Amino acid sequence: MRLLRAALAEIDRRWAGLTQEVLATFDKIPVYALNDSAPRVAYGITPAVMDIVMLELQAALDRWIQNGKEPKDVFWWDPFVEQAMQLGTAQTVANLGNLSSVYATARSLDQVIRSEPYQIRVGLARIKSYEHWTGLRAEGQSRLAAIIGRAVAESTNPRAAARLIEEGLGVTRAKARQYAQTDITDSLRQARWAEADAAREEMGIRTGMLWTSALLPTPGPRMRRAMAACTRRTR
């Protein structure tokens, strides 16, 4: 699915930028050793330096996970939610339009996506997603703080510490990619169901919703015939 591929590519891009910034921040901590390959080193860190490092980590996480690259930007995940919901709605509008001339005459995709109920559904989906990414950012900050704090306390070699930092960021990246698939799939499927429910409540069109993966394209002729067999209009 093109939308999911685009979402995963954006996540990879953001985590690459985040990793670069976090490692650059870690490199600002003074290190005292004969060479950087020594198994143990001494970090010249004071409480003031640690506070600065933590603030810079927080800012990096805010930029790349919780917010857009710039504060004025729309939240970066919102367009993916909106596209998924519009795609799911478009699929149901097309299917119901093919199955019911009454529906085809009464409703169009443009009318649906401009309606207040649809806008409310999109708003709720965006809030749910934002809460998730905010939680993931907080989890990532906690993990990074623990990794860096332990590396400093145990005098871990900077190269080894950098690998641990990358591994920690890899964990949050994997969770982000998993969530992306779940959120896009759920948003698409819920949009399908919501329009089918609206057709039933407003026009008496009852549709037996067949289970299909939300990542599959609009059902083809065979699937439409199967849906037609379980669709009827209450007179």
**Are 118 and 93 in contact, with CB atoms under 8 Å apart?**
no
188 burial type by CB count under 10 A (0-12 exposed, 13-18 middle, 19+ buried): buried
Question: 129-148: b or e for each residue (b if 16 or more CB lie within 10 Å)?
Answer: beebbeebbeebbebbbebb
**Is residue 87 a contact partner of residue 7, using CB atoms and an 8 Å limit?**
no
| pLDDT greater than 50 at residue 128 | yes
pLDDT in tens, 90-100: 999 999 988 88
196 burial level (CB within 10 Å; 0-12, 13-18, 19+): buried
What digits encode the pLDDT tens for the residues 20-72?
A: 999 999 999 998 865 556 667 888 888 888 899 999 999 999 999 987 544 55
Q: State pTM to two decimals.
A: 0.81
- What are the pLDDT digits (tens) for 154-213? 989 899 999 999 999 999 999 999 999 999 999 999 999 999 998 888 888 876 554 444
Mind listing the pLDDT tens digit for each residue in 72-119? 557 899 999 999 999 999 999 999 988 888 889 988 999 999 999 999
Q: In angstroms, rounded to a whole number, what is the distance separating the alpha carbons of residues 19 and 22? A: 5
pLDDT(231) > 50: no
- How many residues are there in the chain? 235
